[in-house]
Amino acid sequence: MPRTTGTYTVTAVGDERVRAFTPHPLPPKRPALALDAKGEKALQAAMAALGRLEIAGTMVPSQDWFLYGFIRKEALVSSQIEGTQATLEDIVAFEATRTSLRPADVEEVCNYIDALAYARRELARPKGLPLCQRLLCATHRRLLKGARGAEKQPGTVRTSQNWIGGARPGKARFVPPPPAHVPGALADLGKWIHGSSPLPPLVKAGLAHAQFETIHPFLDGNGRVGRLLITLLLEHWQLLSAPLLYLSLAFKKHRPAYYRRLDAIRTRGDWEGWTRFFLDCVTEAADDAVQAARRLFNQVNADRRNVAAHKAATVPTVRLFDHLTRHPMLTSKTARKLLESTKPTTGKALDALVQAGVLEEITGKKRDRVFAYRAYLDILAEDT
């Protein structure tokens, strides 16, 4: 027998009347969520995949190798789901030169990176904000700062009705709770996140994401904040020590199933089907990240050996190479700052890296040159 997961309220939006759905507080009840054999198998596979990813993140000289790229990949793909056209190269080029051919799109992705960094800092500070409505609102404010959607009350829980899909509310695929119900629904979600539960934390992360998407508390940016919430919860519940998982890519690959599974929660109370789908996405994303980490590790090690053995290499050349995993695109000026050296010494180091086949000068200019660590960027950019 299907469980009931919420209530409907008939409300007016303009000259149309719609049925807005308010979810019951978590956890699922009547009956309680129970993983069958397939669900248990999916949970075990997902936890094993996260374990492999955590190990991959600790077996390198610096986790910054992966964090730089993986955070940007997650920010990029999460923004692409919402229609952003920026590429990974656009993002790193903007960070290197502060210029872009797609400034609005790039700003959205950079805002996501900033919003995630802010939320992680708050959670790590002894007196920082906990994972709660205030933190999500402050994160949302940073997400929309100066970007598209900036006019839609950044950082503020909505006070008007929104809808998902369809040009007008009467044709919507789904209508979230009326605005008066949103603060209470968010408060209930926060209490549940911080309360005790027999459910495995990874399952709870999937439930929390689905509940947030159903509440849809903002006028814009809900999808990005909802995916960012998963990242924060995995770290908060110590499933990962850092944001190494870019789950947005799996959601993007399986977008029709993603929406279908969320709809099934609301219409049939199928939390079990959603949970299996979510766990399968975690397994896929974690295994993809492990493969990417392995390829990045092998690429960097091979290139470092080639650089060290190259006849033009100097000590500054090797030192500059070691900065490339956090600066896979850089200018001569940035290289000079990283080395804390003179212009001639920096120029020789850059030229040696070009000769060794590691860097590629991408402007064709003699002045204001920009260099790209192409092999590294190509691995990161796969599937984006």
130-165 pLDDT, tens digit each:
999 999 999 999 999 876 666 778 899 999 999 998
The pLDDT of 71-88, averaged and rounded, is 88
The stretch 313-342 carries a mean pLDDT of 93
Strand partners, 20: 9
pLDDT, position 227 = 95
Q: Which amino acid is at 81?
A: I
pLDDT tier, 194 (very low <50, low <70, confident <90, very high otherwise): very high
Please tell me the least confidently modeled range out of 249-263, 265-279, 367-381. 367-381
Q: What is the pLDDT of residues 10-50, one digit of tens each?
A: 988 888 888 999 999 999 998 999 899 999 999 999 999 99
* CA–CA distances in Å: residue 231 to residues 31, 115, 165, 201: 28, 12, 25, 13
Give the lowest-confidence range in 101-115, 284-298, 336-350. 101-115
Which domains does the chain possess? 6-287 (1.10.3290.10), 310-381 (1.10.10.10)
Q: What would the mean pLDDT of 237-260 be, rounded to a whole number?
A: 93
| Range in 165-174, 250-259, 341-350 with the lowest mean pLDDT | 165-174
Give the pLDDT of residue 1: 55
Q: Which tokens hold the place of 152?
A: 């839609």
Tell me what pLDDT residue 149 has.
63
Return all residues near 98 (Cβ < 8 A) that are at least 6 apart. Answer: none
- 262, 213 contact by CB (below 8 A): yes
Beta-bridge partner residues of 7: 22
Provide the mean pLDDT of the chain. 91
Is residue 306 within 8 Å of 356, Cβ to Cβ? Answer: yes
Buried b (16+ CB within 10 A) or exposed e, 314-335: eebbbebbebbbebbbbbbebb
Helix/strand/coil for 6: strand
Q: What is the DSSP string of 76-118?
A: HHHHHHTT----HHHHHHHHHHS--SSHHHHHHHHHHHHHHHH
pLDDT at site 24? 96
